[in-house]
Amino acid sequence: MPEAHPRRIFLASRNAKKIAEMERILGATMPGLKVLGLDDVAAYEEPVEDQPDFAGNALVKARAGLAVTGLPSLADDSGLCVDALNGMPGVLSARWSGPPKDDARNNALLLAQLEDVPDERRGAEFRCAVALVVPGPDGTPVERVVEGAMRGRVIRELRGTGGFGYDVLFVPDDQDGDLTSAEMTAEAKDAISHRGRSLRAIAPVVAEILG
């Protein structure tokens, strides 16, 4: 049995489910490791997510986390990349139809943009990058990024009440049925999702770097 881990790590997120999931995943290799979220630290001005890719935005957020908290910091960034739109909305997913952020309006816009796209060309994938930034021995931060993806297709009508964002329009490939990710249980989605995959992939990296 590994010894209880005395350390703490910061995840730049307010999503209690994401924080609990990370603590569970990291806890399997680092028992006792505590994951703090944005609501557990003094409020700070969060950086603008202005990078051209998910890895860049995740790094910006994790660097800010380390700068403010002094703790090893994790952050994620994710979105939907549609083949027929050359990978868009990508990093613009949350605000695809303009401010203020509105999932229903984003979904309506995506449906309209893909109206004339035939079924065989409606492939897409959710992607997620997770960045880890820790204080380095000589003062230079050590940085790592991992990525995960969930491949599938965009359907023509909204289906399901679970999930969030584009889940009601997205049918993942990696399943026996034909459910949207909004019709799957949270556990079934986590097992194949871009976020689940990247959170699980960062766990051994955290363990190695925190020793």
Q: Which is nearer to ligand IMP, 73 or 78 (CB)?
A: 78
Q: Which of the residues 174 through 193 are near ligand IMP (CB under 6 A)?
A: 181, 193
Interface map 56-95 toward ligand IMP (x if CB under 6 A) = ---------------------xxxx------------xx-
Q: Closest distance between ligand IMP and the C-beta of residue 136, in Å? A: 26
Quickly count helices (H) and strands (E) in the chain. Answer: 5, 6
Stretch of 16-24, 29-37, 113-121, 164-172 lying at the interface with ligand IMP (CB under 6 A): 164-172
Is 167 among the catalytic positions? no
Residue 38, Cα to own-chain centre: how many angstroms? Answer: 16
Phi, psi of 110 (to 5 degrees): -60, -45
3-class DSSP state of 89: strand
Catalytic residue among 39, 53, 76, 77: 77
Q: Which long-range contacts (CB under 8 A, 24 or more apart) does 190-193 make?
A: 190/21, 192/150, 193/126, 193/128, 193/148, 193/150
- Cα 93 to its chain centre, rounded Å, is 12
Q: Which is nearer to ligand IMP, 77 or 206 (CB)?
A: 77
Among 166, 192, 196, 197, binds ligand IMP (CB under 6 A): 166
Stretch of residues binding ligand IMP (CB under 6 A), selected from 117-125, 141-149, 157-165, 196-204: 157-165
Which of 78, 77, 76, 73 has its CA nearest to residue 35? 73
| Cα dihedral 155, 159, 160, 161 in deg (nearest 10) | 110
The closest residue (CB) to ligand IMP is: 165
End-to-end distance of the chain based on CA atoms, in angstroms? Answer: 16
Binding-residue pattern over the window 98 to 137 for ligand IMP, x denoting contact by CB under 6 A:
----------------------------x-----------
Indicate which residues carry an active-site annotation. 77
